Amino acid sequence: MTGSEGPRSIAVQSVGELGGPTSLLTRQRADHARLDRLMAQAWVTEAGGGRAHQVALRAIARLVCTHAFAEEAVLFPAARRVLPEGDPLTLHIERDHQQVNELMNSLDTSDSRDPGHAELMRRTFAVLHDDVRTEEDELLPRLQERLGHRELRLLGWQWELLRRLSPTRPHPTVSRRPPGQTLSALPLTVLDRCRDRLQRCDEQTAGRVAPLLVIADRLLATASGAVERLPVMRKGERPETATDE
């Protein structure tokens, strides 16, 4: 429904209305629902801390980072192309993404026993909630008004491909727009996914090998930080989402 009440949120629409299971709108909403479940899991495990809480936070980071990268590569350019208000709407969400990247970076090094850990989680999840509402209630319904189901399904396949090939960790200094965002994909994806594999091995490994996995992870993290800070990775950045570093 449109008019004085504005576009109808995709949160209350059927899969058929959204264009089918492979539509961009359906895929976006499914990721948002999974994010809600993971955030609830993070709160449940926060009191006990330990491995279960770390696993929950890593799952959130992986989902959020791959989702945001695909949005910035596929969804936002489409919105800017077909919507008169596409640039300010996507810029608002890009600011949310930048803030989440910075907060997730802090969460990655925060111990659940730290006094400020719960507040850091609360701030991060609040920004994520704002991001979801802006997308489901404003950006995506407006895109739905302009594009047919076939176009939404095509965007959905493109979005899914980019999501599967994207970095899995926060990189706050990388541009949120091309060409920096696009150029960062290959090197940071390789480094991030190698770190993911190492950390999964670390969770299953005990004894003398475990410290070696930790050392390898730190080396990859250092390499990732160096790649992220290359000037070429910042090209295309808008001042509104530029990091202070």
How many structural domains are present in the chain?
2
Same domain, 117 and 210: no
What pLDDT is stored for residue 219 in this prediction? 94
Distance CA 134, CA 86 (A): 12
What pLDDT is stored for residue 50 in this prediction? 83
Same domain, 69 and 119: yes
What tokens were used for 9?
A: 């949120």
User: Is the residue at 5 inside a domain?
Assistant: no
Same domain, 72 and 140: yes
Same domain, 26 and 115: yes
Distance CA 225, CA 173 (A): 9
Using the structure block, give the residue that is written with the tokens 């969460």.
107
Mean pLDDT by 10 residues, the chain (245 residues): 69 98 98 98 89 92 96 96 95 95 90 90 97 97 97 98 95 92 93 90 69 88 94 90 75
Same domain, 134 and 39: yes
What pLDDT is stored for residue 207 in this prediction? 62
Same domain, 85 and 22: yes
Beta-carbon neighbour count of residue 194 at 10 Å? Answer: 15
Helices (H) and strands (E) in the chain, counts: 11, 0
Same domain, 178 and 150: no
DSSP single-letter state for residue 139? I
What tokens were used for 101?
A: 């990247």
Same domain, 192 and 144: no
Would you say the pTM of this structure is higher than 0.85?
yes
| Residue 213, domain extent | 173-233
DSSP single-letter state for residue 9? P
User: Is the residue at 243 inside a domain?
Assistant: no
User: Is the residue at 196 inside a domain?
Assistant: yes
What pLDDT is stored for residue 206 in this prediction? 57
